[in-house]
Every structure is written in structure tokens, then in C-alpha cells.
Amino acid sequence: MNRTYIKDLKSNVGQSVSISGWVDVRRDHGKLIFIDLRDMSGKVQMVILPNHTEAHIVAKDLRGEWVIRVNGKVNERPAKMVNKDELNGAIEFEVLSIEVLSSAKELPFAVNENVNIDTYLDHLPFTLRGTRPSSIFKVQAGIVKTFRDFFTSQGFTEIQVPKLIGDDAEGGANSFDVTYFKHTAHLAQSPQLYKQIMVGVFERVFAIGNVYRAEKHSTTRHLNEYTSMDIEMGFIKDHEDVMDIETEFLRKLSNDLKDSYVDEFKILSATIPDVPVKIPRLSLREAQILISKETGKDCTQEPDLEPEHERWLCNYAHEKLDSDFIFITNFPTAKRPFYTYRDEKDATYTKGFDLLFRGVEITTGAQRIHNYDDLIASMKEKKLNPEKFSYYLQAFKYGLPPHGGFGLGLERLTAKLLGIDNVKEATLFPRDINRIDTLLSK
Ligand code: AMO
């Protein structure tokens, strides 16, 4: 008999079908045995009656996470037993025979038990099966799908970029060294240089891939390996065009989530944000003046936003501007990477931006310097040796249009969308300074 998925049982009332999955919960009520069976599509309550002797004998041995194939009949539940909130609350599956495909050893705890984060991470191959984690990563897959679909529909070409690189583009101390090669190589902190090079080929490109940051601390928003969703586009007017297309993507994402992931948001008690046609935009200085005025603490001389400022600005946007998102623009040149375009009005500021969402920065983007000589001058100002970047510089030497792009952290976006406090919970297998699967101190 062909396998029927659990979500489709409702349309098979009165029929005999075969289903397969994991034993989620088992309850014995005298001679009646109830089992909730879980497959990739949902859960159903099964009942094993004592008169089906063989099935009853097998069922007595079943425990949590055993994998079984079951033949049986889909019955309507009596009216007073119907549970409207459940996928299969109106039916019950009467088991006729059971085949054990795989047994499981004794479980460390119940699959949906609320355990502390370390216990949760120690047991990921098991804990990820829970309702909450599996909902998180279903939504995450949906985000990636919309990103890919949206940018493809806008004429962008998806590219695969190397993760082993010769020099670090983002600068700073947080790049990992790789010592295998003749010269020390690095793990890519972003696809930055390659996505810019590829503007010379395709004009519009995007990349979805893992990037690496040697963050020294374990925080609730930093990972050592995360998924960066990047775009780069040619022939822009300035960074406003980049913010516009990110806004359009977010509006599409909000719609797609509302179409396909309402159940998952319900499980996580999270709300899908509405995205305004124009996400509010403030320059860093405007934002700092506002924060200083409202909080009485002067931050107008600081070159960047502190995490508490990001939270404040998000609250402000939510309360006063009716938006869960806010762009902060025009960061100082001194604080941005060498490739960032400078504001013509004042070259100490850039045409770079951050996007803040529900208290956290989820994106950095900018217009880039496209003129070869200006780029070399900018490198020298940042005490970088242009010779080390000669490979990348060919793209500029041989003509690159005005361009810009952004990098969006998938795990931070997932966490903030779903109201998750720790970004590690929005990462399938998070790496941080203390843990690569198992605790490194173990
Ligand atoms: P940036 O370094 O700001 O910019 O990174 C872009 C976005 O990536 C996410 N992110 C992280 N997520 C988890 N753990 C980390 N350690 C971490 N670091 C960054 C954030 C952040 O906003 N090349 C530029 C992008 C560009 O200009 O196109 C860059 O990488 O969501």
C-alpha cells in the first residue's frame, strides 16, 4: 500500500491507508493504547484496540521515537471528542497492523521538554525534532526561498563564492587564519569582493552562503559561522536604491510568511511584521541627536551605535513611526570598510547604512567606490596595501559601474521574526567560541 502523509488523512475518512513516522507520545488507557504519530507533515492520534491482537502486542513495546509503518483505518471522531485546534482533531486512526522500522534507545528527556540551552544544544540531533525547533527551521527555509525567488525575479543571478580567501575584506581582527597554504589564508568573512567583481559580469548578483567571524565572545547575537544573504547591483543612483530593493524584498517576505507559515508563527507566539512601503530612514547623526534629546545622555560624538541605542531606535520606530524596521544611514568613513562610497557633501561620512529590526542590526549595506583610483586612495587611507588586492582591483581597472549591495544575516533575521532571544536557537548547528557541536571544554 502507498504511503499517505499524515496531513492528508482528513481527506481519507472511511478508507484504509498506510502511514509512517515516529512515535511522538504513547498513552495507555487500560486496554486501549493511544499513540501520537509524527511525520514530516504533521501528527495524528492513533488508537490500538485490544481485539487487533497482533498490533496490540507490538504497540505494548513501542516507546518514544521508534519509527514505524502502520496500516489502519481513518475514522471520524465522535462530535464531543473533536479538537478544532489540531490538524487532525476531527479524526482518529484505528491501527490494524504495525511494522517496526527502527527502534530507539531510552530517551534523555521528552522530545518537547523545555530544557536549558546547553542541554538543548548538546542533544541537537534529538531536540531539533521538537515542535518549536522544527517550526523555526521551516520558517528559515521559507526566508531563504523568498530571498532566492525575489532576487531571481528582479534579474539577479545567483553566484557561488569561495570560502577560502587570501585576504580579509571586512578588516578587523575577526578573521580566522587557515595555515595549510603557502601563505596564510583566511575563512571568508563575507562574499564582498567576489560579489563586487561579479557586477562586472552579470550587473545584478546574489549569494547565500556560510561566512566566518572569529568573534571573541559568546553573545546572544554573534555566531562564528553564519549564513549571509548578499546582493550586489550595478547602475544604481546611490545607496537609496539598495535600501529600496531590500524594502521590496522584506514586503514580499512578509506576504509569503503570511501565506505559508501562520501555523509556525502561532507555535512560537510570534507576529509577522508589516513592512511599510518606505521604511523610515535616519542618518546616524539625526538618530544620535534624537537619542540624546530623549534620554538626556549625549551620544552625538560616538562613531557608531551601541546595542542599547539600536534597541532604543527600534522602540522609537515601533511606537512613533509605526514600523518594526528602521534604516540608519551615513556612518562615518572611519568606521566603514575601505570599499564604502563617501558622501559627496562630506567625505568623512559614507553612503552606507544599517537596517535595524526589533532591537538588532540585521543588515549592513552601502554604495561602493567604483572608481579605480578612488578605491586605491581609500585603501591607502585605511593603511591597506593595494598590491594585496590587485586581483580584486582588476574589476575596477577594467570598468565597473556605480554599484551597491547589502549583507543580511539569516539567523538574526529568523530570530527577530520569531521573537527568539538567542541567535543560537535560530541556527541549526551553532558554532561559538565554546562549542562546535559539543562543548569544547568537555
Ligand atoms: P557586516 O559585517 O555588518 O557587513 O555583516 C552583515 C550582517 O551579517 C550579520 N552578522 C552576524 N550574524 C551572526 N553572527 C555574527 N558574528 C555576525 N556578524 C554579522 C548581521 C549583519 O548586519 N560585506 C558587508 C555587507 C555589505 O556591505 O554588503 C558585511 O559583511 O545581520
Q: Is the pLDDT of residue 211 over 90?
A: yes
Q: Which of 55, 71, 102 is the last residue of a domain?
A: 102
The predicted pLDDT at position 169 comes to: 72
Q: How much of the chain exceeds pLDDT 90, in percent?
A: 94
Domain ranges, residue 86: 6-102
Q: What is the mean pLDDT of the chain?
A: 96
| C-beta of 340 in contact with ligand 1 (< 6 A) | no
Do 18 and 159 lie in a common domain? no
Evaluate whether residue 108 is within a structural domain.
no
Number of domains present in the structure of the chain: 2
Evaluate whether residue 17 is within a structural domain.
yes
Do 382 and 243 lie in a common domain? yes
Closest CA to 26 of 115, 118, 104: 104
| Coil, strand or helix at 46 | strand
Do 156 and 81 lie in a common domain? no
Confidence bin at 441 (pLDDT 50/70/90):
confident
Q: Which of 102, 135, 160 is the last residue of a domain?
A: 102
The predicted pLDDT at position 363 comes to: 98
Q: Which atom of ligand 1 is nearest to the CA of 232?
A: 28
- 91-102/67-76 β-pairing: antiparallel
The predicted pLDDT at position 216 comes to: 84
Evaluate whether residue 165 is within a structural domain.
yes
Q: Is the pLDDT of residue 198 over 90?
A: yes
In the numeric block, which cell numbers belong to residue 434?
565554546
Query: Facing residues of 95 across strands?
Result: 72
Q: Which of 74, 102, 130 is the last residue of a domain?
A: 102
Q: How much of the chain exceeds pLDDT 70, in percent?
A: 100
User: Residue 383 class from Cβ within 10 Å (0-12 exposed, 13-18 middle, 19+ buried)?
Assistant: exposed
- Give mean pLDDT, residues 302-312: 94
Q: How far apart are the CA of 387 and the centre of ligand 1, in A?
A: 26
- 225-234/403-409 β-pairing: antiparallel
Confidence bin at 167 (pLDDT 50/70/90):
confident
Q: Tens of pLDDT along 77-122?
A: 999 999 988 889 999 999 999 999 999 999 999 999 999 999 999 9
The predicted pLDDT at position 170 comes to: 77
The predicted pLDDT at position 201 comes to: 98
Do 238 and 363 lie in a common domain? yes
Closest CA to 48 of 101, 10, 90, 96: 96
Q: Is the pLDDT of residue 225 over 80?
A: yes
The predicted pLDDT at position 227 comes to: 98
- Beta-carbon count within 10 A of 134 CB: 16
The predicted pLDDT at position 173 comes to: 77
The predicted pLDDT at position 54 comes to: 96
| Coil, strand or helix at 147 | helix
CATH number, domain at 47? Answer: 2.40.50.140
Evaluate whether residue 167 is within a structural domain.
yes
Q: Is the pLDDT of residue 233 over 80?
A: yes
Which of 228, 230, 245, 358 to mutate for ligand 1's pocket (most ligand atoms within 8 Å of CB)? 228
How much is the pTM?
A: 0.96
Q: Is the pLDDT of residue 309 over 90?
A: yes
Evaluate whether residue 319 is within a structural domain.
yes
The residue contributing the CA closest to ligand 1 atom 1 is 364
Q: Tens of pLDDT along 391-402?
A: 999 999 999 999
The predicted pLDDT at position 274 comes to: 98
Tell me which residue has cell 531510552: 106
Do 279 and 413 lie in a common domain? yes
Do 131 and 98 lie in a common domain? no
The residue contributing the CA closest to ligand 1 atom 22 is 363
| C-beta of 226 in contact with ligand 1 (< 6 A) | yes
Do 304 and 415 lie in a common domain? yes
Do 266 and 385 lie in a common domain? yes
The residue contributing the CA closest to ligand 1 atom 10 is 409
Q: How far apart are the CA of 355 and the centre of ligand 1, in A?
A: 11
The predicted pLDDT at position 301 comes to: 92
| C-beta of 310 in contact with ligand 1 (< 6 A) | no
Do 77 and 182 lie in a common domain? no
Evaluate whether residue 52 is within a structural domain.
yes
Helix pair 284-295, 307-320: axis angle to 10 deg: 90
Evaluate whether residue 327 is within a structural domain.
yes
Evaluate whether residue 216 is within a structural domain.
yes
Q: Is the pLDDT of residue 218 over 90?
A: no
The predicted pLDDT at position 168 comes to: 73
Q: Which atom of ligand 1 is nearest to the CA of 363?
A: 22
CATH number, domain at 393? Answer: 3.30.930.10
Sheet holding 204-212, edge to edge: 157-158, 204-212, 225-234, 403-409, 360-367, 352-357, 325-329, 281-283
Do 368 and 279 lie in a common domain? yes
- Give mean pLDDT, residues 26-30: 92
Do 56 and 198 lie in a common domain? no
Do 96 and 201 lie in a common domain? no
Confidence bin at 420 (pLDDT 50/70/90):
very high
- Give mean pLDDT, residues 35-60: 96
